[in-house]
């Protein structure tokens, strides 16, 4: 959301007149006086009409130009205000207030360098010991001032209020230029001259907030609100600070107050919309954005935000329409390209998304989101090295942001570098202690490294942070970790919890079924049946699940059920595929030796020995079974399931 244009109360400028006959001066002076009255009453559009008439006759009326310009500013027409301030400066190039006002207009127009030049020149004029007012350069001059007789330099800003405004203006320039540390210095200089200026306090708070100094920012906003309880901008900024620290209710309350005080506050509505959207209230967020667009349908920033809300609501197609219009109206806004890229990613158009992120980075090389999202798009396309570099740049720009660290960790893990991924996951978990994804990713990386105990600890920490469906997955992951530690009882307890929460998780059924068989427990055939029913059709694991069902059924002396599993596996698997020979051997009681006569690779050899020996362990000679199982344990290179089956069965035989 963009910062609201710098606003202030412009101090009254002294009216200076030229000698004229009352008859000639009466009518323009009347219009001028009425314009001033309307201006001071806040009726800016009407004031402009009167100033238009008076300035036609008295075009060198400095006060008229200043107040008409300020009226234009109040109506958000900085382009028209600029012409008035330029006129004043042409009349008197040493009139410092005009430079301050023109600087404000330049800020509103996004002309930050020009604004900085104007504020600095105004300060130079005020701080110069030789700065005096030259009445000969003005069309209006009151002879009672007796200025021509003054020989010593005058201080035309004795209270420092004008210099304070100039310093505050520079603070706004630096804040908008993302030079927030320098912005704070300028705001400090302003507050030393005018410590109770509420706009400067609010501006200083905005800069501190951008620096991540939330407590200090809140102190500024609180002081501004205490001095001016109707200060809409301060409420909006304080709401933004509260939202940064997760105080959602207090943030929404402040946004509500800001909008109640100033229903036309675009910034407050956009901030509220952003928070509502982040909390899953997209429909309410759209109401705020649509309220802004009803007043100004061509507000590029709000169109960008509306596209972003629609993206978050899972509506990337409609979002692209608003984002395209935002970019057409203002092609210089990097965040619009970022939102466009995210929408394209959601639609699977990663190549187009990368082009959008490229443009965002070209416009704003410091945009952390653009680097992060381009990394995600590249990771989606399997361009892992490029993705890792993008995430690295995002981390360099903002080391405190957990999202690119998780992105880089996931890319490293996919790259086969889980050890390199672990530090990123650990740092991300520290940066975002309420986010489950760093902990879950850390658990997976640790499991891949064989560090199952710390993996289980990571999953356990993530459990309180997720909902029921995610909890089911975490219990399944913990069960798998315990299974790899050969903690069969612990694994079964976790897998039971997983399936209580999500009974239709086929993978959890597979894990529990094999674990039951390995641990010599009942129920493996029930899990095999559940898996096959859930994964109907061709599935690469289906023939192994048929083996599980057959072995578990025979363990329970249900031979007909075992044959049914084997027939189903044979019927649904290509005859040349592995492990069809094992299915036939189990079905037809083929001797193990005959199966081993075929040219099997080491993995197939181990699986054949483990499955067939387990199937015939009661009928085989004990020494024969021990020899076959020991061959698997000592030399096997097949599936971990076959190795675990052999190891546990061998341990039972050797007791």
Neighbours of 368 (CB within 10 A): 18
What's the confidence (pLDDT) of residue 12? 30
What's the confidence (pLDDT) of residue 92? 87
* For residues 320-334, average pLDDT: 97
pLDDT in tens, 76-85: 899 999 999 9
What's the confidence (pLDDT) of residue 157? 75
Distance CA 208, CA 14 (A): 36
**Contact between 504 and 534 (Cβ < 8 Å):** yes
b (16+ CB within 10 A) / e for 535-555: beeebeebbbbbbbbbbbbbb
**Contact between 561 and 524 (Cβ < 8 Å):** no
- Report percent pLDDT > 70 for the chain: 91
b (16+ CB within 10 A) / e for 33-72: ebbbebbeeeebebbbebbebbbeebebbbbbbbbbbbbb
Neighbours of 155 (CB within 10 A): 11
Q: Taking the mean position of all CA atoms in its chain, how far away is CA 652?
A: 54
Distance CA 534, CA 258 (A): 54
On the question of pLDDT at 135 being above 90, the answer is no
**Contact between 209 and 217 (Cβ < 8 Å):** yes
pLDDT in tens, 56-80: 888 888 899 999 999 999 998 999 9
- Report percent pLDDT > 90 for the chain: 82
On the question of pLDDT at 145 being above 80, the answer is no
Dihedral angle sign, alpha carbons of residues 128, 130, 132, 136: negative
**Superfamily the domain 1-156 falls into:** Tetratricopeptide repeat domain (1.25.40.10)
Average pLDDT, the chain: 90
**Contact between 638 and 605 (Cβ < 8 Å):** yes
Distance CA 358, CA 377 (A): 11
pLDDT in tens, 85-126: 999 999 888 889 999 999 999 999 999 999 999 999 999 988
Half-sphere exposure of 264 (CA within 13 A, CB side): 5
pLDDT in tens, 440-498: 999 999 999 999 999 999 999 999 999 999 999 999 999 999 999 999 999 999 999 99
Provide the pLDDT confidence category of residue 160 given band limits of 50, 70 and 90.
Answer: confident
Which CATH class name applies to 297-390?
mainly alpha
pLDDT in tens, 165-214: 999 999 999 999 989 999 999 999 999 999 999 999 999 999 999 999 99
Q: Taking the mean position of all CA atoms in its chain, how far away is CA 35?
A: 48
Query: 1-156 and 399-503 share one CATH topology?
Result: yes
So where are the chain's domains?
1-156, 297-390, 399-503, 595-655
Fold for the domain defined by 399-503: 1.25.40
Whole-model pTM? 0.77
pLDDT in tens, 21-50: 333 345 678 899 999 999 999 999 999 999
Q: How would DSSP label each residue in 137-199? A: G-S---GGG-GGG--S---S-TTSHHHHHHHHHHHHHHHHTT-HHHHHHHHHHHHHH-TT-HH
**Contact between 479 and 512 (Cβ < 8 Å):** yes
Please calculate the CA angle 543-549-550 and round it to the nearest 5 degrees.
Answer: 90
What's the confidence (pLDDT) of residue 538? 67
**Contact between 466 and 444 (Cβ < 8 Å):** no
């Amino acid at each position: 959301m963009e910062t609201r244009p710098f606003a202030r109360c412009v101090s009254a400028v002294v009216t200076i007149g030229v000698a004229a006959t009352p008859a000639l001066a009466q009518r323009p002076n009347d219009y001028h006086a009425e314009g001033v009255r309307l201006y001071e009453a806040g009726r800016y559009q009407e004031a402009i009409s009167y100033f238009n008439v008076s300035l036609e006759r008295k075009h060198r009326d400095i006060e008229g130009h200043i107040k008409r310009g300020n009226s234009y500013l109040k109506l958000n027409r900085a382009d028209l205000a600029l012409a008035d301030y330029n006129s004043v400066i042409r009349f008197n190039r040493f009139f410092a207030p005009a430079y301050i006002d023109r600087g404000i207009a330049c800020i509103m127009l996004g002309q930050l360098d020009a604004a900085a030049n104007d504020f600095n020149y105004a300060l130079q004029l005020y701080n110069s010991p030789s700065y005096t007012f030259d009445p000969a350069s003005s069309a209006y001059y009151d002879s009672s001032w007796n200025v021509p007789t003054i020989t010593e330099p005058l201080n035309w800003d004795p209270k420092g209020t004008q210099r304070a405004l100039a310093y505050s203006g520079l603070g706004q320039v630096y804040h908008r230029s993302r030079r927030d540390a320098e912005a704070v210095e300028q705001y400090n200089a302003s507050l030393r001259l005018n410590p109770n200026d509420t706009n400067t306090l609010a501006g200083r708070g905005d800069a501190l907030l951008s620096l991540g100094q939330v407590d200090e920012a809140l102190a500024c906003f609180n002081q501004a609100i205490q001095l001016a309880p109707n200060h809409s901008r301060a409420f909006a900024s304080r709401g933004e600070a509260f939202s940064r620290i997760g105080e959602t209710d207090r943030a929404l309350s402040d946004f509500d107050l800001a909008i109640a005080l100033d229903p036309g506050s675009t910034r407050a509505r956009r901030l509220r919309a952003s928070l509502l959207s982040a909390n899953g209230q997209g429909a309410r967020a759209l109401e705020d954005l649509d309220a802004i667009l009803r007043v100004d349908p061509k507000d590029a920033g709000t169109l960008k935000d509306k596209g972003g809300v629609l993206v978050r609501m899972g509506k990337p197609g409609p979002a692209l329409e608003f984002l395209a219009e935002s970019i057409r109206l203002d092609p210089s806004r990097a965040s619009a390209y970022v939102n466009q890229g995210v929408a394209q990613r959601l639609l699977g158009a990663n190549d187009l998304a990368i082009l959008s992120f490229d443009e965002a980075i070209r416009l704003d090389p410091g945009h952390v989101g653009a680097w992060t999202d381009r990394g995600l798009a590249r990771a989606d396309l399997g361009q892992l090295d490029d993705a890792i570099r993008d995430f690295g740049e995002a981390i360099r720009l903002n080391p405190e942001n957990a999202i690119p660290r998780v992105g880089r960790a996931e890319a490293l893990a996919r790259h086969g570098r889980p050890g390199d991924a672990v530090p990123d996951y650990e740092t991300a978990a520290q940066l975002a202690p309420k986010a489950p994804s760093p902990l879950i990713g850390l658990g997976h990386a640790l499991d891949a490294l064989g560090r199952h105990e710390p993996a289980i600890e990571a999953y356990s920490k993530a459990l309180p942070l997720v909902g029921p469906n995610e909890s089911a997955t975490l219990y399944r992951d913990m069960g798998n970790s315990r299974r790899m530690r050969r903690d069969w009882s612990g694994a079964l307890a976790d897998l039971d919890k997983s399936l209580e929460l999500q009974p239709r998780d086929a993978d959890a059924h597979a894990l529990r079924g094999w674990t039951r068989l390995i641990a010599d427990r009942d129920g493996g055939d029930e899990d095999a049946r559940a898996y096959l029913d859930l994964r109907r059709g061709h599935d690469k694991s289906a023939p192994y699940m048929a083996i599980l069902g057959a072995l578990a059924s025979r363990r329970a002396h249900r031979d007909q059920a075992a044959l049914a599993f084997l027939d189903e596996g044979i019927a649904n698997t290509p005859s040349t595929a592995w492990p069809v020979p094992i299915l036939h051997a189990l079905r037809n009681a083929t001797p193990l030796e005959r199966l081993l006569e075929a040219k099997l690779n080491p993995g197939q050899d181990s699986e054949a020995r483990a499955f067939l020996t387990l199937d015939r362990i009661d009928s085989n000679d004990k020494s024969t079974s021990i020899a076959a199982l020991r061959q698997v344990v000592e030399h096997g290179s097949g599936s971990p399931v076959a190795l675990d089956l052999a190891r546990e069965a061998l341990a039972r035989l050797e007791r």
